[in-house]
């Protein structure tokens, strides 16, 4: 899992570095509105990277929580540990990466959750 997360980190970092550079270049362009160079990381790949990251990161953290629970049975459950350590990513994973609420709604979903991504 760590190797996949590291790959995603490098991919997203490359996209963000290119985007930052394009923004800096646009400030220096003599012609307003001139389009910047396209990213070497397609937008669809960046979206998939966030899905993959959220799912993998949550699985990794829950596995660590499970190992901790083996050492201390009174400690946090894997889900409780994930909530403590990675709550924002867990929320993204639960509401977006794990399933799209628009096609697989759950009873606890709000109307906002069910909007198309």
Token code pair at residue 4: 């996949």
User: Within 13 Å of residue 87, how many CA atoms lie on the same side as its CB?
Assistant: 3
CA max distance for the chain: 65
Look at residue 43 in the predicted model and tell me its pLDDT: 78
pLDDT level of residue 116 (50, 70, 90 thresholds) = low
Q: Mean pLDDT throughout 99-105?
A: 69
Q: What is the pTM of this model?
A: 0.64
Question: Mind listing the pLDDT tens digit for each residue in 16-55?
Answer: 888 888 777 766 655 666 665 667 778 788 878 888 888 8
DSSP 52-85: HHHHHHHHHHHHHHHHHHHH-TTS--HHHHHHHH
Give the pLDDT confidence score for residue 38 in this predicted structure. Answer: 67
Per-residue pLDDT tens for 51-87?
A: 888 888 888 999 999 999 999 999 999 999 999 998 8
Exposure of 53 by Cβ count < 10 A (0-12 exposed, 13-18 middle, 19+ buried)? Answer: buried
d(CA 46, CA 17): 13
């Amino acid at each position: 899992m760590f190797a996949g997360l590291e790959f995603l980190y490098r991919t997203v970092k490359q996209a963000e570095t290119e985007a930052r550079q394009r923004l800096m270049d646009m400030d220096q362009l003599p012609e307003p509105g001139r389009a910047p160079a396209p990213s070497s990381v397609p937008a669809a790949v960046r979206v998939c990277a966030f899905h993959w990251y959220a799912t993998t990161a949550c699985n990794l953290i829950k596995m660590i929580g499970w190992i901790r629970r083996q050492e201390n049975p009174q400690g946090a459950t894997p889900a409780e540990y994930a909530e403590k350590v990675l709550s924002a990513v867990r929320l993204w994973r639960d509401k977006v990466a794990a399933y799209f609420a628009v096609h697989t709604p759950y009873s606890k979903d709000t109307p906002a959750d069910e909007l198309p991504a």
